[in-house]
A = this chain, B = another copy of it.
Amino acid sequence: MVPARAKRTATLGADGTPRLEDVAAAAGVSISTASRALREHPAVREATRRKVRTAANRLGYEPNRMASALRTRISSFVGIVVPDITIPFFGLVVKAAQDVLEAAGYQVLVMNTHRDADQERQALRTLLSHRAGGVMVATYGGHDRGLRIPLVFFANVDEEAQAPRVVLSNREGIRLLVEHLVDHGHRRIAYVGGAPVVTSGSERLLGFHAAIAAAGLVDSATARVSDSWSAESAEVAATELLGASEAPTAFVAGGDPFALGIVKAVRAARLRIPDDIALVSFQDPDRVGGILEPPLTTLEGQERELGSHAARLLLHTIEQGSSATSAAEVRLPARLVVRRSCGCDPALAHDPTDL
C-alpha cells in the first residue's frame, strides 16, 4: 500500500520543475481548468481559482514560458543589437529600453556585434531562432533587409531600409558646437570623429563641413576620422593637427572617446584647455561628472530618451503587425550644455557673445 503522503507528492516533470499537470492533480481539477484559473480567465469559479492558486503556490509552480510561447505564438523576447554593451552610451540606451520593454512583458536579449557586420548578421539570426517578437538595432550594416522580424533602428541606421528609427540630431548638434566656437572668435577649428561608415560618423562629419562652410570659414583638411572610435586614434590625430603649421585653436570632438584623446594630446603638448586650445564635444566622456578638469562643453546626453523612444516605437511596430511598415523617424533635438572647456565661465555668463 502506498502511504497517504505519497499520493500527495506530485510527479514532477522530467526536468524537475512542477508542470501544470502537477498543479491540476494537486488541486483536483483538469489541466484546462488549472490553466484558466492561473490566467484569471473569467469563466472559472472563485473557489476553483483559489484551490488552483493554492496548489500552484505550494508546489512552487512557475509556468514554462517556452511552452506557452510555442502554443500561443506570442514571443516573450525582444532583441537589442549594439556594437558593445560596455560602451557607456549603449549601456545607458539599452538600460532605458530594457526598462520599458520589461514593463511590457518582454525579456530582452542583448547582442554585441563589436562593430562587425558579420557578427551583426549572426546576432540577428540568433534572435530569429529565438523567435524574438522584435528587434532594436544600432546597425553596422549587417542586417538583412528581408528579415522577418519587426525592427526599429536607433542611433545607427540603414538609410535604405524600410523601418522606423530614432536618432540623434547629429548634424544640428555639431552645428551648435561649431557655432559656439565661432562665437568665441575661433577661426581655425578642427574636427576629430568617427569614420562615416555608420550614421553617427557620417552625419557628424557632414555636419562639421556644413557648419564650417555656413560660418564662412575655410575647411582645410582639419577633419580627422577613425574607424575604431578610440581615444588613442584621436590622440594621434590631435597631436598631428597641433603640430601643423597652421594649428587649430579649437577642437570639436565627434564623440566621447575622441574628446578624451584630444584632452590627452593637448596635455601632452603642454597646452591648456581652454586658455590655449578650446574644446567642445558631441558627448561628455565624464559621465558621472566632476572628474575632468575643466568640465567639457558638450551636447546634452540623450541616452534615456533614445532608449525609451526606440523601445516604445518597437512596441508600437510589433502591435501593428506587418501591416504598416511605415518608416517613421524620430529625431531627438540637440541641446548645448555650456561648461568651461570652450572658454566660457558658466558662473559668470551663459551667453558667450557677452564675453
Interface residues of A (CB under 8 A from B): 14-17, 60, 62-67, 69-70, 73, 76, 84-86, 88, 91-92, 94-95, 98, 107-110, 112, 125-126, 128-131, 146, 148, 231, 257, 260, 263-264, 285-286, 288, 290-293, 322
A85 CB contacts on chain B under 8 angstroms: 85, 91, 94-95, 98
Query: Do residues B98 and A112 form an inter-chain contact, with CB atoms below 8 A?
Result: yes
A130 CB contacts on chain B under 8 angstroms: 65-66, 76, 107
A selection of 23 A-B contacts at a CB cut-off of 8 Å is A15-B131, A17-B131, A62-B125, A62-B129, A64-B129, A66-B66, A66-B131, A67-B70, A70-B70, A76-B130, A86-B91, A86-B92, A107-B109, A107-B130, A108-B110, A109-B109, A260-B288, A260-B291, A285-B291, A286-B291, A291-B291, A291-B292, A292-B292
Q: Which residue of B lies closest to A293 (CB)?
A: B293
A84 CB contacts on chain B under 8 angstroms: 95
Tell me the complex Cα distance, A17–B128, Å: 9
Q: Which residue of B lies closest to A146 (CB)?
A: B60
How far in angstroms is the closest Cβ of chain B from A296?
A: 10
Tell me the complex Cα distance, A84–B288, Å: 15
Tell me the complex Cα distance, A129–B20, Å: 12
Query: Do residues A95 and B112 form an inter-chain contact, with CB atoms below 8 A?
Result: yes
How far in angstroms is the closest Cβ of chain B from A114?
A: 10
A257 CB contacts on chain B under 8 angstroms: 288
Residue from B17, B65, B91, B263 within 8 A of A291 (CB atoms): B263
How far in angstroms is the closest Cβ of chain B from A109?
A: 6
Tell me the complex Cα distance, A342–B115, Å: 38
How far in angstroms is the closest Cβ of chain B from A341?
A: 13
A86 CB contacts on chain B under 8 angstroms: 88, 91-92, 95
How far in angstroms is the closest Cβ of chain B from A336?
A: 22
Query: Do residues B15 and A290 form an inter-chain contact, with CB atoms below 8 A?
Result: no
How far in angstroms is the closest Cβ of chain B from A47?
A: 26
Tell me the complex Cα distance, A126–B76, Å: 11
How far in angstroms is the closest Cβ of chain B from A116?
A: 14
Tell me the complex Cα distance, A15–B260, Å: 48
